[in-house]
């Protein structure tokens, strides 16, 4: 509950709207009870003695009250929506910013599916809570309190019915809440599972279809969907069971008011101005009673809704409470211009707190401006190694130096702003080719776009589009080929003009001629940029300054030129022999 209360600060930021909404809500509730009170006066005081002047006055007053109540309701609804939308927009932005600050380790811990559910389903539930806050959460207790005042003023005798029905309804509501609350926690967990399977399936349609695995995925989704149905049905069964019992309490109470009213009218206690049974009093008291009980019911539904919102609030706060494990040191150096010298000193690395080491005792030096090839068998830790340089992960042992400075002593933004990483699977965002390139340099102009695209051999296909760099890109670049996506990613990296350029097998989807053009562009960068290039083919890296070879145990098997590695590295020789005649390099 405290997590939900802590999120109320987002709504309190818009306190002028809240005050207006609360005033309008209070007036609407008051008018809701005023109308049956006026009805009582019309029946018992005006109609009973046929006082036409009083009847007209009361009728006009009732119409004015109804109109006023309508206006108050509209004002309340408008400002409730306004507070809910604005406050949730702030919350969603803060949550997105927080997620962006998390490291890969943090995201692995929280799970992508949970973050998606939290950012969508849970935030939407908090939005509904903010909206209900001014419309129902405040309205329900007001209906009970104001209703009791009107009921007692109308007839103390008839109020005895409420002494029985209200406690019964309150006790029943508490029982329902205690039983239902645990199920609401489980519902959110099952939504996570649904999102995880749906997300994985949506990300891999080619794999699923090519392996004819559609039936298997349908079965997998059906399992989590069935689990969601069972848990959600269990929660809904409780509510379905509660509804008829509540209606019975309502009807019994209503019958009690009528029976008790008839009794007191027969005793001469409930009489109107003409000495007849006070039908207006019974009528108005019945209306008060129903509104009071309805207020209690609304309060019960809101308490259940609050309990569900509390679950969502806890999940949101769990993300906010997550401390990024990659943080700047207290005296982190900012504004440092890197040259590009890289040193690994006895570096070991593994995923998770107790994961196996995928890199072990790695030590090597790279001078500024050098172009280094990285090769090794699958699973040797090549991608893990290059992820350590921009501090996407931190080393477990040893240290990494850039220009003689431990990267942990550098400001993370300062470090990453001078490094470009092109991942093995290119990431293209929805928007346009230009908006994707702008991520490399927000201030880049058309000439810079063209220059970077030319280096990446992307300008040729971009020029074929009538809208040029404004050509729209779909989510994940679905309207582009694999080679086009790789070249756009490379152009984005070149546009940044980094001091350290890292390519993780980023030319695998382009033809040999285009690959040579890209490698020539990297070579022409010269001393301005240190380049580390992961490749599967020796032909891609054999002419580079040095080549780092990793074995499948995570150790360095060699770090030298192509010619020397053919003599000293068993792993390198095996790769070279396997690629003779297959587009690789021959054993020269």
Domain coordinates in residue numbering, the chain:
2-321, 336-418+498-588, 430-497
CB 507 within 8 A of CB 373: no
Give the span between the Cα atoms of 453 and 432, in whole angstroms.
14
Q: Report the mean per-residue pLDDT for the chain.
A: 83
What's domain 2-321's superfamily in CATH?
Answer: ABC transporter type 1, transmembrane domain (1.20.1560.10)
CB 393 within 8 A of CB 384: yes
Tokens of 414: 């300062």
| Contacts of 105-111 spanning 24+ positions with Cβ under 8 A | 105/325, 105/326, 105/351, 105/352, 105/393, 106/322, 106/324, 106/325, 108/351, 108/352, 109/322, 110/318, 110/319, 110/322, 111/192, 111/196
- Residue labelled with tokens 């406690």: 167
pLDDT at residue 37, as a whole number: 84
Nearest to 129 by CA among 317, 315, 303: 303
The order of strands in the sheet holding 530-534 is: 419-422, 500-504, 530-534, 371-376, 546-550, 556-560
pLDDT at residue 164, as a whole number: 83
Task: Count Cβ atoms within 10 A of the Cβ of residue 357 and give its class: 0-12 exposed, 13-18 middle, 19 or more buried.
Answer: middle
pLDDT at residue 361, as a whole number: 92
Backbone φ, ψ for residue 372 (5° rounding): -115, 130
pLDDT at residue 266, as a whole number: 76
Pairing type for strands 342-350 and 357-366 reads antiparallel
Give the span between the Cα atoms of 154 and 282, in whole angstroms.
9
CB 547 within 8 A of CB 556: no
- CB count in 10 Å sphere of residue 4: 19
Give the span between the Cα atoms of 165 and 295, in whole angstroms.
13
CB 55 within 8 A of CB 46: yes
- Residues 534-578 have pLDDT tens digits of 888 888 888 889 999 999 888 999 999 999 999 999 999 988 888
Rounded to the nearest angstrom, the gap between the alpha carbon of residue 284 and the centroid of all alpha carbons in its chain is 49
- CB count in 10 Å sphere of residue 228: 18
Strands (E), 79-227: none
The CA-to-CA distance between both ends of the chain, in Å, stands at 71
Helix orientation angle between 160-203 and 279-321, rounded to the nearest 10 degrees: 30
CB 119 within 8 A of CB 107: no
For residue 3, the SS3 value is helix
Q: Name the DSSP class of 333.
A: B
Q: Name the DSSP class of 121.
A: I
- CB count in 10 Å sphere of residue 94: 14
Tokens of 346: 């006895």
- CB count in 10 Å sphere of residue 44: 24
pTM: 0.68
Please tell me the total number of residues recorded for the chain in this structure: 588
Tokens of 384: 């893990």
CB 494 within 8 A of CB 448: no
Residues of the chain with confidence (pLDDT) below 70: 184-185, 188, 202-206, 209-212, 239, 272-275, 277, 352-355, 508-510, 524-527, 580-588
pLDDT at residue 564, as a whole number: 92
C-alpha distances (whole Å) from 540 to each of 228, 375, 421, 514, 547 are 50, 10, 18, 12, 11
In this structure, whether the domain defined by 336-418+498-588 belongs to CATH 3.40.50.300 is answered with yes
What distance separates the 2 farthest-apart alpha carbons in the chain? Answer: 121
Backbone φ, ψ for residue 288 (5° rounding): -60, -45
């Amino acid at each position: 509950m405290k997590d939900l209360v802590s999120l109320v600060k987002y709504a309190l930021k818009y306190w002028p709207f809240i005050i207006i909404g609360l005033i309008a809500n209070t007036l609407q509730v008051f008018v809701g009870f005023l109308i049956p009170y006026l009805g009582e006066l019309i029946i018992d005081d005006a109609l009973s003695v046929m006082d036409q002047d009083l009847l007209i006055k009361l009728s006009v007053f009732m119409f004015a009250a109804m109109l006023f109540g309508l206006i108050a309701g509209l004002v309340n609804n408008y400002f409730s929506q306004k507070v809910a939308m604005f406050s949730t927009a702030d919350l969603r932005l803060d949550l997105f910013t927080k997620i962006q600050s998390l490291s890969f380790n943090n995201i692995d811990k929280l799970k992508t599916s949970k973050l998606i559910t939290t950012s969508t389903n849970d935030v939407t539930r908090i939005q509904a809570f903010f909206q209900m806050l001014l419309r129902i959460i405040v309205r329900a207790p007001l209906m009970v309190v104001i209703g009791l005042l009107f009921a007692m003023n109308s007839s103390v005798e008839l109020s005895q019915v409420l002494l029985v029905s209200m406690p019964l309804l309150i006790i029943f509501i508490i029982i329902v809440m205690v039983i239902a609350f645990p199920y609401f926690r489980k519902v959110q967990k099952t939504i996570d599972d649904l999102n995880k399977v749906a997300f994985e399936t949506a990300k891999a349609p080619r794999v699923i279809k090519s392996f004819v695995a559609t039936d298997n995925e349908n079965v997998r989704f059906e399992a989590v969907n069935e689990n969601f149905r069972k848990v959600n049905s269990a929660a809904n069964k409780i509510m379905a069971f509660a509804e008829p019992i509540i209606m019975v309490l309502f009807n019994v109470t209503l019958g009690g008011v009528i029976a008790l009213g008839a009794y007191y009218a027969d005793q001469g206690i409930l009489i109107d101005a003409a000495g007849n049974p006070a039908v207006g009093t019974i009528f108005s008291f019945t209306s008060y009673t129903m509104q009071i009980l309805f207020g209690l019911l609304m309060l019960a539904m809101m308490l259940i809704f609050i309990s569900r919102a509390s679950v969502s609030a806890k999940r949101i706060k769990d993300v906010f409470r997550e401390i990024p494990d990659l943080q700047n040191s207290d005296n982190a150096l900012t504004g440092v211009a890197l040259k590009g010298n890289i040193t690994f000193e006895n570096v070991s690395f593994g995923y998770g707190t107790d994961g196996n080491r995928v890199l072990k005792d790695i030590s090597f030096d790279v001078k500024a401006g050098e172009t280094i090839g990285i090769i090794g068998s699958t699973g040797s830790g090549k991608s893990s190694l290059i992820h350590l340089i921009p501090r996407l992960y931190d080393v477990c042992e040893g240290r990494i130096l850039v220009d003689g400075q431990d990267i942990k002593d550098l400001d993370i933004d300062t470090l990453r702003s001078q490094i470009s990483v092109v991942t093995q699977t290119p990431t293209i965002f929805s928007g346009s080719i230009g908006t994707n390139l702008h991520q490399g340099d927000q201030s880049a102009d058309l000439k810079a776009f063209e220059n970077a695209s030319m280096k990446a051999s992307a300008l040729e296909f971009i020029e074929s589009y009538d809208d040029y760099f404004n050509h729209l890109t779909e989510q994940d670049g679905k309207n582009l080929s694999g080679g086009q996506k790789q070249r756009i990613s490379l152009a984005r990296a070149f546009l940044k003009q980094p001091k350290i350029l890292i390519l993780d097998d980023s030319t695998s989807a382009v033809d040999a001629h285009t690959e040579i053009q890209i490698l020539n562009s990297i070579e022409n960068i010269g001393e301005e940029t240190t380049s580390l290039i992961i490749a599967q083919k020796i032909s891609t890296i054999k002419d580079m300054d040095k080549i780092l070879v990793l074995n499948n145990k995570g150790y360095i098997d060699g770090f030298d030129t192509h010619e020397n590695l053919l003599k000293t590295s068993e792993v390198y020789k095996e790769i070279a022999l396997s690629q003779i005649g297959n587009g690789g390099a021959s054993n020269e």
